Amino acid sequence: MYISTRGNSSERTGKEAIALGMVPNGGLFVPRIIPKINWQELKELNYSGLARKIIKLYLPELSDRTLDQAVGVYRPDLFDSENPAPLVQVGNLGILELWHGPTSAFKDMALQVLPHLLKESIQSIEEAEKVLILVATSGDTGKAALEGFRDVPGIEIAVFYPENGVSAVQERQMTTTEGKNTFVIAVKGNFDECQSKVKEIFGSKAMIDEFKKGKYVFSSANSINWGRLLPQIVYYFWAYAQAAACGKIQAGELINIVVPTGNFGNILAAYYAKEMGLPIKELICASNQNNVLSEFFQTGIYNRLRPFYLTTSPSMDILISSNFERFLYHMSDCNSEKVNLWFKELQSEGKFEVDSQTLAKAREYVKAGWANEDEVQATIHKTYDECGYVLDPHTAVAVKVCQEYFDTSGDSTYTIIASTASPFKFAGTVLRSIAPQQGTENEWESLERLSSLTGWAIPSGLQGLDQKTVNKTETTVPSEIPNLLTKLFL
Ligand SMILES: *Cc1c(COP(=O)(O)O)cnc(C)c1O
């Protein structure tokens, strides 16, 4: 069963939690009990089998048919090969490549599955005839969600992205999506403004009632939705199994995991994996210049009142990190009163400070660091020079933070980096880092040059993007989002 981080909801089934996306009057759904599993039981399974086992633990009420369809997505025509998440050895690090799905970012690992979970889940919310998925994206969730939900009967999807806050490839991927049920909207504002507005709509009784008249219920494909986090737990077990299979670790040995972090979803999935019994020593949270999280782990203060930077890792340009609420719920020993207070303060004052016990526990579970723009470029350059491996800027943030962690801690535990995007999604930045003299402002030319320079193939979903027809898209300001939705859907 699932409960609210803010203690403001009755217990819900997993299906209800997924259908609702978030707690209707604020708060996020968390599992009341985190199931334990012996990872030894899992090591003979293929990826789909592993996913099936883990998803079933959290959603026992799901039908076998839905489960089969959900885990059936991890097949070669969608994820490149039999192994949807290969662990590649680069120097002393294991790089877990999570970007072999249709949109070349790790979001596919969950967003290909979510529509299947949601289809059955919606039936548990009786009043719903149609579902309107609202998505705020810092770049990658948008396209992955559009692909996942494209032409799914009974579902429509509207994606909001910051007009100048995503890469050229990310924007073109979204605006060229086919499908009659997809809507893409550019917002004059940053990701936090998009996300806050969308969350506000989920919590607005007036909007919910108005859309109910049109037979719509809202849901979310952002990682505030439990259905997004759940499939992400799987690949940490998968990474461990691969490291053990190739002899990098002995069975039962501890590993570290480093995650380039924005909304704290991906690293939270690793936290759940650890709580379920996966032998993890350190979880390391890596931020870019928008380092609100690493500052929190240093000071215990979460302060979003700070400059917002547009960086070369745009999918991490986030100051209000949604899933941090779930993490703090667990770190405060499930104290929903405290969580309620902190997040009310965040809304009214722009910051909050946790008590020393919560901070101590948070620090015990997660180490944190950040990398600036020069360090990201230098890390991409050095990794290519020394290992011939091409990092995307988000993964480079994690590699840099990892190296710093090694240097300061002296820890030599085998460490896995969650690699979240194909370098071709950010080809301009990557090319300029590896071979500055070849840099070009033309993003499409960058893709070609990066490919010929490195010998790496351009992922099929990114080929010919510049030739595709761009759909008509709406542009709006954050405050007009509710009106635009009414105009588009009612
Ligand atoms: C979404 C995203 C992240 C951040 O993941 P969170 O789950 O939001 O912390 C990092 N890198 C890339 C490439 C992403 O698309």
CA separation, residue 275 to residues 6, 251, 270, 390 (Å): 21, 18, 9, 32
The residues that are catalytic are 107
Reported as a single tens digit per residue, the pLDDT across 314-340 is 999 999 999 999 999 999 999 999 999
Q: How confident is the model at residue 129 (pLDDT cuts 50, 70, 90)?
A: confident
96 CA to middle of ligand 1, Å?
14
260 CA to middle of ligand 1, Å?
7
Ligand 1 pocket by C-beta < 6 Å: which residues? Answer: 105, 107, 140, 223, 260-266, 315-316, 394, 420-421
Using CA atoms, how far apart are residues 459 and 145, in angstroms rounded to an integer?
18
CB 351 within 8 A of CB 345: yes
Reported as a single tens digit per residue, the pLDDT across 274-321 is 999 999 999 999 999 999 999 999 999 999 999 999 999 999 999 999
Query: Which distant-in-sequence residues (6+ apart) come within 8 Å of 21 by Cβ?
Result: 202, 218, 219, 220, 222, 224, 225
430 CA to middle of ligand 1, Å?
17
Q: What is the mean pLDDT of residues 373-401?
A: 98
Task: Say what percent of the chain tops pLDDT 70.
Answer: 99
Query: What tokens were used for 30?
Result: 């968390």
Mutate to test the pocket of ligand 1, among 228, 263, 392 (most ligand atoms within 8 A of CB): 263
Using CA atoms, how far apart are residues 109 and 467, in angstroms rounded to an integer?
27
pTM: 0.96
In this structure, the residue with its CA closest to atom 2 of ligand 1 is: 315
Pinpoint the alpha helices (H) of 214-349. 226-245, 265-276, 292-299, 324-331, 336-349
Mutate to test the pocket of ligand 1, among 316, 318, 391 (most ligand atoms within 8 A of CB): 316
186 CA to middle of ligand 1, Å?
20
CB 53 within 8 A of CB 42: yes
